[in-house]
């Protein structure tokens, strides 16, 4: 176990890196917004507003701005009447695609997992409510 301190150093760096990611990606709607833009390639403000269920225009505007500052998305004003605005991932933003895909796959898997486990615990339909606040 003499290698423990070295392992710990490594883990600390890994933890810091995760924190760095979360500084940019946490926030109630960021990941979902990015997913919308990612899957549709180019997406307008009002479209994202629909994609991300529950978000307000105020929050969408705010989070888009933050993502833009962090160079993850690019904002383009189109010469339409009335004006529309298009959002797309930057090259750097596109490096998140893997993560988005993983999260998508995991979401599907998780849904199955939870439903499966619940029916193991009890057959009562009411027990479905146990799944922790999955519909805030």
Partner DNA sequence: CCGTATCCCCGGGGATACTG
Partner DNA sequence: CAGTATCCCCGGGGATACGG
- Which residue, 78 or 115, has its beta carbon nearer to DNA? 78
CA proximity to 87, closest of 104, 105, 63: 63
Q: By CB under 8 A, name the one of 62, 75, 94, 111 that touches a second copy.
A: 111
- Quote the least distance from Cβ 134 to DNA, whole Å: 15
- Quote the least distance from Cβ 96 to a second copy, whole Å: 7
Q: Residue 58: which of a second copy, DNA, none does it interact with, CB under 5 to 8 A by kind?
A: DNA
- Which residue, 30 or 100, has its beta carbon nearer to DNA? 30
- Quote the least distance from Cβ 49 to a second copy, whole Å: 13
Stretch that binds DNA, among 11-19, 77-85, 95-103, 105-113 (CB under 7 A): 77-85
- C-alpha torsion 95→43→40→71, nearest 10: 0
Supply the DSSP string of 50-98, one letter for each residue. HHSTT--HHHHHHHHHHHHHTTSEEEEEE--SS-EEEEEE-HHHHTTHH
Q: Work out the burial of residue 2: count CB atoms within 10 Å of its CB; fewer than 13 is exposed, 13-18 middle, 19 or more buried.
A: exposed
- Which residue, 83 or 120, has its beta carbon nearer to a second copy? 120
Contact 88, 73 (CB under 8 A): yes
- Quote the least distance from Cβ 33 to a second copy, whole Å: 10
């Amino acid at each position: 176990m003499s290698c423990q301190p070295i392992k710990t150093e490594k883990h600390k760096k890994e933890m810091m890196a995760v924190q760095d990611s979360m500084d940019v990606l946490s926030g109630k709607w960021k990941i979902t917004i990015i997913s919308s833009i990612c899957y549709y390639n180019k997406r307008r403000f009002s479209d994202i507003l629909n994609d991300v269920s529950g978000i307000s225009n105020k929050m969408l505007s705010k989070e888009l701005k933050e993502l833009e500052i962090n160079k993850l998305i690019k904002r383009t004003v189109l010469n339409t009447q009335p004006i529309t605005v298009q959002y797309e991932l930057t090259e750097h933003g596109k490096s998140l695609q893997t993560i988005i895909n993983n999260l998508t796959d995991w979401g599907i898997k998780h849904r199955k997992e939870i439903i499966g486990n619940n029916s193991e615990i009890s057959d009562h339909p009411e027990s479905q409510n146990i799944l922790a606040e999955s519909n805030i």
